[in-house]
Amino acid sequence: MHIIKELNKVKNKNIYNLVIDDKTYTFDEDTILEFHLFKDKEIDDDILDRALNSAKISSYYEKALSYSIKYAKGSKEVYYYLLDKGLDINSSHEIVNKLVERKIIDDKNLIKAIIYSLIKNYNGRMMIIEKLKIRKFDSKLIDEEINNLDYDFYIECLNKLYEKIKHKYDKFDDYIRVNKIKNYLYQRGYSSSDIGILDIK
């Protein structure tokens, strides 16, 4: 058996330092309440192990929460972040699922926001799809949101990009100039059908 000798709240945080026997452990408030970890209480090895595991999961949850909000990360990005931090597969899934259930992670809305931002910064559909795949978003969600993008806004941004770059190639003859403009737009991820809408002269 182990005896909880001290229980001290860390200032301005919902965590506590507990002295159990002669060792100091840190637990979050939820774990304290769940396992009734109060001063002078005796606990066995099983309770201590379960409480330590619960506190570890809570700590990783806070890290995942901060990471997902601060850097606008999707579910798979957070999942792999937790694995990289040393958390096991099952616990990583559990934390991600909890964040999804609480609407903290919302891949669908995040993809929409990313697509809007990328269009605004003159990225074509092919480039957008590639960037979303790199971020490990679900392919079906990517396809769905790409198919539902604001096409008028997309073409408006493509036209703005064309107006912005077309004079860079004025020194070339017509054939080379048109091909250089098209190649530039291809590199930005625009398709032949996108480029075909422009009146490139």
Which of 41, 73, 101 is the endpoint of a domain? 101
Mean of pLDDT values over 151-178: 94
Mean of pLDDT values over 155-182: 94
In a domain, 201, yes or no: no
Tens digits of residue pLDDT in 71-129: 999 999 999 999 999 999 999 999 999 999 999 999 999 999 999 999 999 999 999 99
Q: State whether 21 and 81 are in the same domain.
A: yes
Residue 5 has pLDDT above 80, yes or no: yes
- Edge-first strand listing for the sheet containing 42-43: 23-28, 15-20, 2-9, 42-43
Higher-confidence residue of 68 and 15: namely: 68
The owner of tokens 């066995």 is 44
The owner of tokens 């795949």 is 133
Report, in angstroms and rounded to the nearest whole number, the Rg of the chain calculated over CA atoms: 26
Which of 101, 116, 132 is the endpoint of a domain? 101
**Domain containing residue 126:** 107-196
User: How would residue 201 be classed by pLDDT, with cut points 50, 70 and 90?
Assistant: confident
Q: State whether 36 and 114 are in the same domain.
A: no
What's the pLDDT at 199? 83
Q: State whether 87 and 160 are in the same domain.
A: no
In a domain, 50, yes or no: yes
The owner of tokens 């609407």 is 103
Residue 49 has pLDDT above 90, yes or no: yes
The owner of tokens 């008028």 is 152
Which of 40, 69, 101 is the endpoint of a domain? 101
In a domain, 32, yes or no: yes
CA distances from 129 to 8, 56, 66, 120, 147 (A): 51, 36, 26, 15, 11
What burial class does residue 31 get, using C-beta atoms within 10 Å of its C-beta: 0-12 exposed, 13-18 middle, 19+ buried? buried
Domain count, the chain: 2
Residue 153 contacts by C-beta under 8 Å, 6 or more apart in sequence?
Answer: 116, 119
